[in-house]
Amino acid sequence: MDSSSPTPEPAVRKTRALADARRHGSSEGLRTAATSGSSPSTRHIAYPSATAQHGHRDGRKRTRVMDAAAPNEVSLDKLLEPLDEQSLRLLLDTLLVQNPLLAAQVRQLVPKPTVNSACSQLVRLERRLQAAFPYNKSGPATDDYTYHRVRPALEELRDTIVMYLDHFTHYGLASASSVTHAQEQPLNALSHPAEWFDLLTQATDVAMRMPKWDRRDNNEIRRETLRQLADGWLRAIMATSRWTEEGHLVGRGMLSQWAQQLDHFYANAGEPALLHPAVQAFQRSFGQHCARGPSMVPLETTT
């Protein structure tokens, strides 16, 4: 080796190692380079990597890189892991309250609701309502005290039924012209009446199981829920009638099933007047295509 080429100083070797580590974006390499050949006073210096400065596509990896600078702290994913569903919802609600702009991002990330997921949520809310009843050795009580104890859960169930009913049925059924005007169809327009009637059937089942109270006024939540659902049945029947007029086909078996379900609710909901218009509309539109149930009211004649 030429004696005119001196051996690089430790500081020069350290600088080259840091440059190489930055080019490769390695936080571990940066820490190694920063500590190699350095004095004790500079041995704990850590330089942020490119992923820590500009973010990483994988949120978990980004968390680990950022947490690596504080080895005495628990990583964020491990802090979140023990939390139950209620705690996670409370945490998310707090973040949304403090940062309202996050709501749009969260809405884009969460899965879109389906009829099945909506009905599953109604069942969970019904269980929450049942769990809200105070213990009674003779079974759930129906007095004023019990009503006021379970009223918040009862109102939440009603509001959720109405919310999903409006969400899925506000735009009705996708028309026959959707093939040529697909861009004009709302995203949550139902593609087939079976989805509408499935939602109505399951939601009405839940509403019928709402408790009946001793005081008549306390039953208004149940009546209002059934009133909204009865209107939903009427709208579904009229929309399906128009849908078939546009050229779509509905099988006799499906029509008979809807007739039996509507007949069951009409006979057992305890509010026949609310479902009377829906029963009449179904008989006018589809009565000739399916068997008439024993409780179906006769058609009214107009003069």
DSSP symbols for 240-284: HHHHHHTT----HHHHHHHHHHHHHHHHHSS-HHHHHHHHHHHHH
Q: Please state at what angle helix 27-35 crosses helix 10-24, rounded to 10 degrees.
A: 180
What per-residue string of b and e applies to 192-204 under the rule 16 or more CB within 10 Å gives b? ebbbbbbbbbbbb
Write out pLDDT tens, residues 39-49: 444 444 444 44
What per-residue string of b and e applies to 211-240 under the rule 16 or more CB within 10 Å gives b? bebeeeebbebbbebbbbbbbbbbbbbbbb
Among 208, 292, 228, 229, CA closest to 255: 292
> Band of the pLDDT at 61, cuts 50, 70, 90?
very low
Q: Give me the pLDDT at residue 262, please.
A: 95
Three-class DSSP category at 4: coil
Q: What is the mean pLDDT of residues 168-181?
A: 66
Write out pLDDT tens, residues 226-240: 999 999 999 999 999
